[in-house]
Amino acid sequence: MDAIRRYLRSPPAVIGLVLLVIVLAMAASAGWLFPHDPLSLAGRPLQWPMANPRFWFGTDNSGRDIAAQIFYGARISLLIGLVATFVSIVIGIVIGALAGYYGGRTDTVLMRLTEAFQTLPNFLLLLVLVAVFGSNITTVTIAIGVVSWPAPARLTRAEFLSLRNREFVQAARTLGMRDLRLIFGEILPNALPPVIVYASVVMAVAILLESALAFLRLSDPNVASWGNLIGLGRDVLRSEWYVSAIPGIAILVTVLAVSLVGQGLNDAFNPRLKGR
Amino acid sequence: MRILSLAGRRLAASVPTVLLILIGIFLLLQFAPGDTVDAMMAQMGGGDAATARELRRFYGLDLSVPAQLGNYLWRLVRFDLGFSAIYGKPVVTVITERLPATLLLMISALSFAFFFGLVLGVVAARRVNKWPDTLISTLGLIFYATPSFWFGLMAIVVFSIYLQWFPPGGLEDITTVNTGLWRVLDIARHLVLPTLTLGFIYLAIYLRIMRASMLEVQNLDFVRTARAKGLDETRVVVRHVLRNALLPMVTLIGLQAGTMLGGSVVVESVFSLPGLGRLAYESVIQRDLNTLLGIVFVSALVVIAVNFVTDLLYARLDPRITSGV
């Protein structure tokens, strides 16, 4: 309760929450407001926003409704963001937990692996993964998750290092609990909160990574993704710049909302660290 | 000397990391549909199976995967990255042609982000929770949430198309031949927008870290001591607070060298700069896996080199690091 009150007292956190609710509402109402396929032909191409009352945001180079693509794009961005974040957090937790709990050689090997992933530019690795496994929406989402796990892994490991010799863990060990139950039943629930808060950072980066990939036309071309639309708009940037401008604002708002909410949660749950 | 040995130890520790990356990527690329010979045959406009077999034997692609891996690593030791079938040149040549543009972009974006992040972070921390702080922090958040390629496109619309202050792309003007100082100025003019585009995200990160780190340091005991002995405010901030608050910023450079290289893939594509990032993108599109593997190797080396320099810098800023532990 205290945490909720602290959250609601911080203006940026509330703004973030409002923006996030708006994006969620866009995703939820897409099918209802725009019953037709957002990627189907809707009207004459390259109509400016509001020039035709049927198209609030105008039409793109191939005559598709930009507003419909923005609304459906909210679904795609949130979906990719959530699933990729889930993948990266799960990998990160497993690797971080094993490294932090066992220490010694396990820790060395797993941390070397983490370091290798961090040394490699993540966008480059993403390009390699897409080149190898193709670029439909499933592989792209999993690939984004696979390149973003090192930071959550390090965070989980640090939490485990500080928790693994606490009294409650020793007590549980004396009771004869097995390692796996100790790790996932006893230590992990205590190590989880900072990792969950960090997930908002991962999600913001995941949305940005997908949009960059889509902009380069390396993501799935058969879904209404904001990045795809920006990439398309690039061809007509000189005169019809709104085609690129509008989806960019949608990405900005979504990423901003996710970061603000994450920051707000962090401050609400760790009041002592506020302002960092 | 101790600094060097410390940094040298860290450098030696990165050898297994590079090895791990190369083996991992090499094995990963084995899953890729099509190999170099397929790409070459496509370039030649097709050919019969016998030619393909002949070519595979010539490039050692008919061997088992472990043997190929062994061959590859042995060639790497001699810094031979193989041959790019698409560009018709050795991969080393292709990469060295493209590396300068990327390094130039990275260095200028990093300097821009570091300098302005530092200044804005200090200003925000000095006026904490007043309007300059709120304004700077809000701008930082917005920069952080802006997709860099979109920022680049909008910068092109405003500064190249409407205002016509800066060129929309390329590394230098190819219609006129410039030499000496004029060439430098021309390249600088072309790099302004890419630098801003790549730099703004990092500016946001640096400013946040700098602000937090200033806030933390300025409440420590030694700062109170400095104030108590009557130093003026500028002296306290510059000589005492700033120097200590800089440490996390330096760490961040090392941590972010990798992301920055990744970010330059996108920025180079937006501004059609002939850099390593664009080469990576092209080699993905053209299935030039030899070049892709070479780029992965060189980027890992760049990241490790940046970390090496950061270590040296860190030890210079904080003498405690070389003494003791």
ipTM (interface pTM): 0.84
With contacts defined as CB-CB under 8 Å, which chain A residues touch B215?
A: 275-276
Measured between alpha carbons, how far apart are the two ends of chain B, in Å? 15
Residue A229 CA to residue A169 CA, distance in Å, equals 52
**Does residue A270 contact residue A4 with C-beta atoms inside 8 Å?**
no
Q: Which of residues 218-257 of B touch A (CB under 8 A)?
A: 255
Q: Which of B164, B284, B310 is the best substitution to test chain A (most A C-beta atoms within 10 A)?
A: B284
Chain B: residue whose CA lies nearest to A240: B157
- CA-to-CA separations, B263 to A22, A23, A161, B132, B275, in angstroms, rounded: 29, 26, 33, 29, 12
Residue B313 CA to residue B251 CA, distance in Å, equals 9
Q: Which of residues 260-299 of B touch A (CB under 8 A)?
A: 260-263, 265-266, 269, 280-281, 284, 287, 289, 292, 295-296, 299
B29-54 pLDDT, tens digit per residue, is 777 776 667 766 776 777 777 777 77
Count Cβ atoms below 10 Å from residue B70 Cβ, excluding itself. 12
Which of B35, B84, B161, B174 minimizes the C-alpha distance to A245?
Answer: B161
pLDDT band, very low/low/confident/very high, at A276 (cuts 50, 70, 90):
very low
B239-294 pLDDT, tens digit per residue, is 888 888 888 888 788 777 778 888 888 898 888 888 888 888 888 887 777 788 88
Share of chain B above pLDDT 90, in %: 1
Residue B323, pLDDT score: 54
**Does residue A244 contact residue B153 with C-beta atoms inside 8 Å?**
yes
Rounded to an integer, the average pLDDT of A171-190 is: 87
Q: Which two tokens stand for residue B171?
A: 């590394």
- CA-to-CA separations, A246 to A40, A79, A94, A206, A238, in angstroms, rounded: 19, 20, 39, 20, 15
Residue A96, pLDDT score: 92
Residue B92 CA to residue B90 CA, distance in Å, equals 5
Residue A144, pLDDT score: 93
Q: Which of A128, A136, A226 is the best substitution to test chain B (most B C-beta atoms within 10 A)?
A: A128
Burial class (CB in 10 A: 0-12, 13-18, 19+), A96: buried
Q: DSSP secondary-structure letter at A87?
A: H
Amino acid making up residue A137: I
Which of the residue ranges A11-25, B103-117, B128-142 would you say has the lowest mean pLDDT? Answer: B128-142
